[in-house]
Structure 1
Amino acid sequence: MAWDETGDAAARDRQVLGGRERLSFLGEDSLDARHLEAMEQLRLLYGYPEGMPLAPFFANLAHSPEFFAGYMALGVTASTRSALPARVRELAILRTSWLCGAPYAWGEHVHATRERLFSPDEIARITQGAAAGGWDDLDRAVLCAAEELHADAMIGDATWAVLADHLDERQLVELPILVGHYVMTAYVQNSLRTRLTEHGQGLSAR
């Protein structure tokens, strides 16, 4: 049975993380200056400590230096140069990570946004999605957009109309690109069984 049909976070964590990592970890000496600069930008954005070791996901991704460079370029752009408000951006990332059953991405973004952008109650409601109570119109539309993209590979007309009332044309272009980037992230992290960081809590994180 698919993850999104069970919603059992602990079981999904075991499924994705229970086996050994599928690739070896490479060190920073496998990367060049452009890779290290991109990681430093993300470290500063999310407030990670200086000198922290290469994160497990990046240590896996380093097996493909050129794809690493392209992936990081899009990730840094989405995180530091997107026109989307931070709350909209992270709401879309968290809902997409949950829908994809992605323990690594979910846990990292809960850690980065808890209390700063979302209360623990809001994080719990993100797991329930647009159908949960308490969202304003924009929040609900962003959640709906992530859900519709996941289910049908497009944002429906009703959801688009609400988004267009709150976001400009640049932001409307960037939202599905952002969601697609984190779907790709889930595919890679889950398939490689990338282990969690020291503060990662997987899908149980709230």
Structure 2
Amino acid sequence: MRGPFEVLLYSPELGDRLEALSTSCMRDSALPPRLRELALLVTARRLDAQHSWLAHVDKGRAAGLGAEPLARLARGEEPGFDRRDEEVLYRFADQALTRHFVDDETYAAALAELGERALVDLVVALGTFATLALVLNTFQVDLPAGAGPAFPDVSGFRAAARRSPSP
């Protein structure tokens, strides 16, 4: 077990359910793989989940996301995605994760671009990815071996890694 699921071993039933949900979000979604990875990466950046970012940035590139927009997103800059569906998803996810609401114009654009099912799948995925990010950050799951911080404005953990919810 690696990543957030290492921590979730302390709550196995919940961990099994969350693993099934996260797997469904990544495999069974109406969103194409490229947009699934983008949703995860936007969530990772907005919640400063460096572990999630490092685990998925190469998968995002392999799925067709551009390296430069991802590099700008990692730096906390406006990513400027070239593809319309990526830009629409980014705007929607960014608003949902930072404002906790999506304005009417952005909602309408996302609905038109993605469709109803994919939009529902996106919102559930954002929540699921946010949950995993919170587990990673709260319990300070180590970054992958040899990896440095993914985000220049996030200094990392201030204490030793917490592998369990126990003090």
Task: Decide: shared fold, TM above 0.5.
Answer: yes
Structure 2 match to 1:189: 136
Cα offset for 1:180?
A: 0.9
CA shift, 1:63, in A, is 0.8
* Corresponding position of 1:148: 95
1:68 aligns with 2:15: yes
State the structure with more CA Rg. 1
Say how many residue pairs are matched.
Answer: 152
Output the CA distance in 2 between the equivalents of 1:199 and 1:81: 32
Judging changes above 3 Å, is the alpha-carbon distance between structure 1 residues 77 and 57 closer, same or farther for their aligned structure 2 residues? same
Work out whether residues 102 and 186 of structure 1, in 8 Å CA contact, stay in contact via their aligned partners in 2.
Answer: yes
Aligned in 2, Cα 1:204/1:144: closer, same or farther, shift over 3 Å? same
Aligned to 1:118: 65
**1:45-64 equivalences in 2 (<5 Å):** 54-64=1-11
TM-superposition CA deviations, 1:113-153 (whole Å, max 9, x none)? 23442232132133367944343322111111111112221
For 1:66 and 1:141, locate their aligned partners in 2 and report how far apart those are by CA, in whole Å. 36
Unaligned runs of 5+ in 2: 153-167
Match of 2:56 in 1: 109
Q: Secondary structure at the match of 2:85?
A: helix
The equivalent of 2:38 in structure 1 is 91
* Alignment of 1:172 onto 2:119: yes
Over residues 23-48 of structure 1, what are the superposed CA-to-partner deviations in whole Å (9 max), with x where a residue is unaligned? xxxxxxxxxxxxxxxxxxxxxxxxxx
Structure 2 CA distance for partners of 1:180 and 1:203, relative to 1, 3 Å: same
Q: Distance in 2 between matches of 1:201 and 1:75?
A: 25
TM-score under structure 1 normalisation?
0.66
CA distance in 2, matches of 1:147, 1:90: 14
Q: Distance in 2 between matches of 1:123 and 1:178?
A: 19
Identity of aligned residues (%): 28
The correspondence of residues 11-22 of structure 1 with structure 2, limited to 5 A, is none
Deviation string 1:86-122 (CA, Å, 9 cap, x unpaired) is 1111111101110111111111011322344223213
CA deviation profile, 1:138-184 (whole Å, cap 9, x unmatched): 21111111111122212221111111222121111111111111111
Q: Check conservation: 1:97, 1:183, Cα contact below 8 A.
A: yes
